[in-house]
A and B are shown apart, each in its own frame.
Chain A
């Protein structure tokens, strides 16, 4: 039986205390601290978008791309882009030899792009004499 001053919390009989400490609302300061930390984390670690014109294929590769390299983009429509301009693959051998010779070239191709286009680009780059060819992928 409940006595005056007692409350029934689902079977638990609690005593109503008159302590002013318990009547105060729960402090929100720790929660705000955590929210601030989460906000900082998402602002710093997250990127709003990846600067890519294509959706690269997924792979298990775990080598991060190095900076300062030449990039050739191959879109899913078959367009080959170099420095923002659309080029034809034969141009690599004919006009852009000096650009690519002894350079590290990164191919960022769409996962749905024709694999033959990538093969042709690799063949042309090999003839020109590039140092290394890498293919951009996303983590599976």
Chain B
């Protein structure tokens, strides 16, 4: 009687191609992934405290001109000096701020000013167009 003994292959499945593919996928996702997360900031509604001149606190008027100059209460400032000027003014937390922008001023400039104001505790900020306010 002849018995056929089938020799079982001891070779293991090679993992190398799988690892290659995983590396390629890893590099792809590392390069293409974007971890930017959007956030939101509140904008005060017009007709509320900031844009309403009849409130008990006189609003702080900040004007953004199209020549990149910033005027606060009729004195000229730069983006660097405006924070110190706000500190010197020492407004109360409830003080309304009217941010009046000229046409052509990029939104980023207005948002940077809003950031500075919020850092100083001023949250009642209304964004308006300069022509409307004057």
Q: In the complex, are the beta carbons of B105 and A115 less than 8 A apart? A: yes
Minimum CB distance partner of B19 in chain A: A32
Verify if A49 is at the interface (C-beta below 8 Å from B): yes
Cβ-Cβ contact count across A and B, 8 Å cutoff: 160
Given contacts A32-B15, A42-B30, contact A135 B22 (CB under 8 A): no
Among A5-13, A90-98, A105-113, the stretch in contact with B: A105-113
Q: In the complex, are the beta carbons of A132 and B26 less than 8 A apart? A: no
Chain B contacts for A139, CB-based, 8 A? 36-37, 39
A interface SS class:
mixed
Complex interface residues of chain A between 24 and 49 (CB less than 8 A to chain B): 28, 32, 35-36, 38-39, 42-43, 45-49
A45 to chain B, nearest CB (A): 7
How many B residues have CB within 8 A of the partner chain? 47
Given contacts A46-B35, A115-B101, contact A35 B26 (CB under 8 A): yes
Verify if B83 is at the interface (C-beta below 8 Å from A): no
A-B contact pairs, 8 of them (CB 8 A): A49-B34, A61-B40, A110-B107, A116-B130, A122-B46, A123-B132, A136-B40, A139-B37
> A residues within 8 Å of B by Cβ?
28, 32, 35-36, 38-39, 42-43, 45-50, 52, 56-65, 106-116, 118-120, 122-123, 125-127, 130, 132-139
